[in-house]
Amino acid sequence: MINFLRLKWVYFSVSAALLVLSAYSLFFNRLKPSIDFTGGSFWEFRFSQEVTKEDLTAFFNDYGFAFNQLKSNDGFLYVVSAPPLEQSDKQPLQLAIEEKFGQIQEHRFETLGPNVGKELLFKTVTAVCSTTILILFYLAWRLKNLLYGLGAILGMLHDSFILLGVFSWLGKFWGVQIDTLFVTAVLTTLSFSVHDTVVIYNSVQEEVKKSGGSLIDSINFALNRTIIRSINNSLTIIFMLLALVLLGGGTIRWFVVALLVGTILGTYSSTFLATPLLLELNKIFKLKK
């Protein structure tokens, strides 16, 4: 049997380091909200011949079209983000572009008013809060012990905070934006991270009941017993997600990356954070008694 708990300070330090890095990045780099949150327009189109970024920028300036950002990797496929653009303004702009640079093929056009964005922010906060509360209630009822519930929730918050941190780093280096789908990924991560924790906690409780031994031994036993299952289960999910990241369409790539990061974090925190934390919580709680 491996003594997992011997190294608990290593796990705590790793988690602390990740949390600090995330906090630092969230504070200094911040998250880059997409038009889902801020309102605005997003326009993706493809030229039939190569057009340089400089030419297109110059053209937009001449035309008097105020855009926020112009992105292209190959000179064919362009992504333009701008303040909200009405269809009646977009149509003549498109005609002017086509007259100058030749036919374009529109892939996607989205426009959102600023109020919708504020609303999404509000809805995100309520969604995260209600999911957390519902899961807490379920755990409290299921595990019949607040300490276990607390441990699982702490692990879950740890995961979502680091996920946010990872995306603020991604935003800094790759300009990755936070959109509605990212919110979905965060909520899914909440459930995934508890998912594994519950299995381990169940095992701990079963062992405590059966052997009547100390909590440390029970926890170690439960960890040994569940570690392979945790890893194998995450591996199968990771296989699916990796295939999607590498092959899947561009519009959902970062959504899948968020799910992938969330799954890995969930597996890590269940085994290496939430469970050792259970022991510490127990100590603190008993000292106070």
Partner 1 sequence: MARVRLYFTTANFFLFALICAISLGVKFLLYLFMKAKNRYLLLAITLISLVCLIIDLPRFHLNVPFGEKFKINQDFGGYNLDFTLFGKRIFRNLSIRQGLDLKGGLQVIYEADVSSLKEEYRSQALESLRENINHRVDLYGVSEPSIQTSRSGNSYRLIVELPGVEDIDRALEMIGQTANLEFKRQSQELLDYQEKLSNQSETQEELLGFSGEYFVDSGLTGADLAKSVVSFDQQTGKPEVGFEMTPSGGQKLEALTKEIQGQPLAIFLDGQILSAPVVQAVIKDQGRITGNFSLQEAKDLVIQLNAGALPVPVTKISQQNIGATLGGDSVERSLAAGVIGLSLVAFFMFVYYGRLGFLADIGLLVYGLITLALYKLIPVTVTLAGMTGFILSIGMAVDSNILIFERIREELAKETPLNMALKLGFGRGWDDIKDANVCTLIACFVLFNPFDWSFLNTSGLVRGFALTLALGVLVSLFTGVVVTRTLVRVFYRK
CB distance 152 to 197 below 8 Å: yes
The distance of closest approach from Cβ of residue 67 to partner 1 in the complex, given in angstroms and rounded to an integer, is 17
Tokens of 252: 């959902």
Number of other CB atoms surrounding residue 91 within 10 Å: 10
Judged by beta carbon, residue 3 or residue 130, the one nearer partner 1 is 130
Judged by beta carbon, residue 145 or residue 184, the one nearer partner 1 is 184
Q: Provide the binding-site residues for partner 1, judged by CB under 8 A.
A: 87, 91, 105-113, 115-116, 119-120, 122-124, 126-127, 130-131, 134-135, 138, 142, 180-181, 183-184, 187-188, 190-192, 194-196, 198-199, 202-203, 225-226, 228-229, 232-233, 235-244, 246-249, 251-252, 255-256, 259
Q: Which residues contact 163 (CB under 8 A, 6 or more apart)?
A: 185, 186, 189, 258, 261, 262, 265
Judged by beta carbon, residue 64 or residue 249, the one nearer partner 1 is 249
The distance of closest approach from Cβ of residue 16 to partner 1 in the complex, given in angstroms and rounded to an integer, is 26
The distance of closest approach from Cβ of residue 195 to partner 1 in the complex, given in angstroms and rounded to an integer, is 5
Give me the DSSP letters along 108-126: EEEEE-HHHHHHHHHHHHH
- Cα angle 53, 58, 63; round to 5: 125
Judged by beta carbon, residue 29 or residue 205, the one nearer partner 1 is 205
The distance of closest approach from Cβ of residue 234 to partner 1 in the complex, given in angstroms and rounded to an integer, is 9
Q: List C-alpha distances in Å: 220 to 1, 93, 151, 155.
A: 8, 66, 16, 18
Q: Which residues contact 130 (CB under 8 A, 6 or more apart)?
A: none
The distance of closest approach from Cβ of residue 130 to partner 1 in the complex, given in angstroms and rounded to an integer, is 6
Judged by beta carbon, residue 42 or residue 60, the one nearer partner 1 is 42
Q: How far is it, in rounded angstroms, from Cα 247 to Cα 250?
A: 9
The distance of closest approach from Cβ of residue 139 to partner 1 in the complex, given in angstroms and rounded to an integer, is 8
Q: Which residues contact 288 (CB under 8 A, 6 or more apart)?
A: none
Judged by beta carbon, residue 24 or residue 137, the one nearer partner 1 is 137
